Structure 1
Amino acid sequence: MQQKKSRRKPPSEEQAKKRNRVIWRIALVCLAFYGVISIVQMQGRIRAKQDEVAQMETRIAQQQEENDALRKQVEEGLTDEQIAAMAREQGYIMPSERVFADSSSK
């Protein structure tokens, strides 16, 4: 069995160079496209993280205010009225108090 000879001519040097230039240009365009997509995705992540940082800073400020209020309360001590109010919230009453339950709402 004989092998068929290729009817194609081997590419000339100029054609090979031209083909290589086209391949390089395509590769460069693909690389540039990939770079642009990566940059856009990174910007989205950066924006999300900046939002997260802003939320955390807000929470930190709120917690610091709460801590300052508690620190002030500890330094000054509790007044009798504050103690009585806390006791009432937990269901305690003074010995001289009468508690009335509203049964009309049931």
Structure 2
Amino acid sequence: MAAEKRKNLALAVGLNMLLPGLGYIYYGKWIVGFLGGGLVIAIAASNIAQNTLVVWVAVNVLMAIDMLLLNSRDRRRARDSDSMQCRSCAELIRAEAKKCRFCGEEVAQ
């Protein structure tokens, strides 16, 4: 099974600034992307927001923070799936390792 390619955080944030929700779609979060983008467009098109630029900036800041959290969660998942715990010393080592780099114990495959 091929490893999933990691997504570029800067590109996702940039896409969200271009069109809110587009960065989520890039990350594969289609529903969140369409709902977020639709919400921003609906607010901008209505008379609810007197200053569309303020809404645009505020939503982009919130989406950028959410993208940072999403990226850190994805990195943690990737790290956890690429590693295993040594039976001898309990340190995390790469899943494909034949020998523990900490204690030198042979790793059973």
TM-score bin (small chain) = 0.3 to 0.5
Q: More relative contact order in 1 or in 2 (CA 8 Å, sep 6+)? A: 2
Q: Report the structure, 1 or 2, having the larger helix content.
A: 1
TM-score, normalisation: structure 1: 0.36
Q: Report the structure, 1 or 2, having the larger strand content.
A: 2
TM-score, normalisation: structure 2: 0.35
Is the radius of gyration larger for structure 1 or structure 2?
Answer: 1
